[in-house]
Structure 1
Amino acid sequence: MSPVPALADSAASLREEFDRSFSLAPASPAAGRVNLLTIRIGGDPYAIRLADIRGLHADRRILELPGPLPELLGVTNFRGQIVPVYQLAALLGKAAGAAPRWMVLAQASAPLALAFDAFESHICADAGQLIASADSAGQGRPREGVRTGAGVVPVLDIGALAAQIEARAAHASQGAQP
């Protein structure tokens, strides 16, 4: 008897399982664990909670536009929706270098993308790896950190950054009206 039918059945089974995996919702992290993206802004490491973003994108075309905030790089298109793109380094008070390659689409009340220099990795941290920051000044600045093999990496508060941008843009547009 030839092993070929057994291989064909095995391949078909693997193909079906692979295809089915795309129709299922992504698995949530185990209780007490949080998914994070680690990124670089300038030479500094940061982390972003996966729950705070809608997507990670590279090499998106940004149409430069003038705007009320100096951190505004311009706009880009996500599935037919025009989205403003802000430079994360400038929002954090860091020197802005070359045009950032990466951006995240923020989970916010209004469409918003945040651009940064480099994406490093995805980590699934447990509660013991998350620590409160001594400085909780807010405005998107890290209020917590995550312990990694390379040390403690600050976790950005994307919700606070989005609220800060919204408030500053509203204030700027009110000041521009006659």
Structure 2
Amino acid sequence: MESSPEVENLEQVMDRILDAAEGHDCVNLDMILNAVGQRSYGPVLLLIGLIVLAPLIGDIPGVPTLCAIIVLLFSVQLMLHREHFWLPQWLLNRSIKTSSLNKAIDLSRKPARFVDRLVKPRLTFLIRGYIPARCVALCSIAIALMMPLMEFIPFSANLAGGVLTCFGLALIARDGFLALLAFALMIASVTLVFYGVWG
């Protein structure tokens, strides 16, 4: 199945997911990735960030860890210069009830519209090119490695979701300011995990 053209904003991601789920009792990860464009790193980061942030989904035990595995696999493959990303079939087959997905998207719709109005191309030198993309990948690997611990620290997984969402949007919209925000949120995530585990 060919992947769809790349998404350009948060609301478009939600619309693509709803389209993929239409007519199905459950929707699996493979269907969702194909809908948002699984061959591009930005849309995948954005999607995983939204899943971790989403009400009714991101708070399910085990979901942040599964999302961390996906981010880790994609990020490592980007660092290795892979042109096409790969995920194991057991991950692609993971599914969620369409009714739960619809509720989560309905709750997220207004915040998504607000964010979409703020995102635009700016400070593009911070997000375009080989080196910035690899910096994003390295930061995403660091976040992914921390996410299993975050399941035991209140609100930290949501912070990780914010980091991934900002990085994904920054790559899609060429918004360097969002990349800076993601770096700041990442520092906050590391601090929260450090004090949550060793504090």
TM-score (norm 1): 0.28
Structure with the larger helix share: 2
Structure with the larger strand share: 1
Structure showing greater Rg: 1
Structure with the bigger RCO (C-alpha within 8 Å, sep 6+) is 2
TM-score (norm 2): 0.26
